[in-house]
Amino acid sequence: MAISTRSKRWARWLGTFVGFPLAGVAARAVSGNIDALGAAAIGGLIGGVVLGAVQAVIGGIEPGARLRWIAATATGLAVGLTVGASAVGYHTDTASLVAMGAICGAAVGVAQALSIPMRRVDRVLWAVATPVLWASGWLITSQVIADADRQHAVFGASGALAVSALAGVLYALRHRPTTQQPVAVTDLSSDQVAA
């Protein structure tokens, strides 16, 4: 794949950073503070739909896989936020936000990696990198956010920009499977094989 094609794919994925603050706004509008299991589940689901849709459209997920990506992101964030926020007792100190981010990222990363066609190595890299990236996103955001005590569903734009830039590298390097199916040897007639 040409460098320019990879650069374009990376740039598209970088643009998906806007999905994180939009997801946070949507989650807050529906569930308020993430301070209980119900708020975390609903906020994660709504935020995940918004984030997944932004990533699918702006990031360039293949059209036939977009709904699966959105559903996986919504499910992953709903489960991850419910488990992660509960695991840290809904606290908003830096260590708690980083731990919550790692748990959310693990759930989202695995769900996304299984949702669209990828080589096994790409699936593993995406699933392993996402929790690290999401923990980093919360670490960055926790250093600049003034209202962490409002118990946000996702990290802010500062963390999102870094996460999207780094995830974009993985996305740009990912092998895109072709839609053309190889012809099986048994499908060929003896005349075609001889030719």
pLDDT digits (tens, 9 = 90+) for 155-175: 999 999 999 999 999 998 876
DSSP for 118-174 reads --HHHHHHHHHHHHHHHHHHHHHHHHH-S-GGG--SS--HHHHHHHHHHHHHHHHHS
pLDDT in tens, 59-106: 999 999 999 999 999 999 999 999 999 999 999 999 999 999 999 999
CA–CA gap between residue 127 and residue 66 (Å, rounded):
18
* pLDDT single digits (tens) 181-195: 433 434 444 444 344
The reported pTM is 0.87
* Dihedral of alpha carbons 93, 94, 99, 101, sign: positive
Q: What gap in Å lies between CA 133 and CA 164, rounded to an integer?
A: 9
What per-residue confidence (pLDDT) applies to 189?
Answer: 42
What backbone phi and psi angles, to 5 degrees, belong to 51?
Answer: -60, -45
The stretch 125-151 carries a mean pLDDT of: 94
Residue of 18, 40, 17, 37 whose CA lies nearest to 28: 40
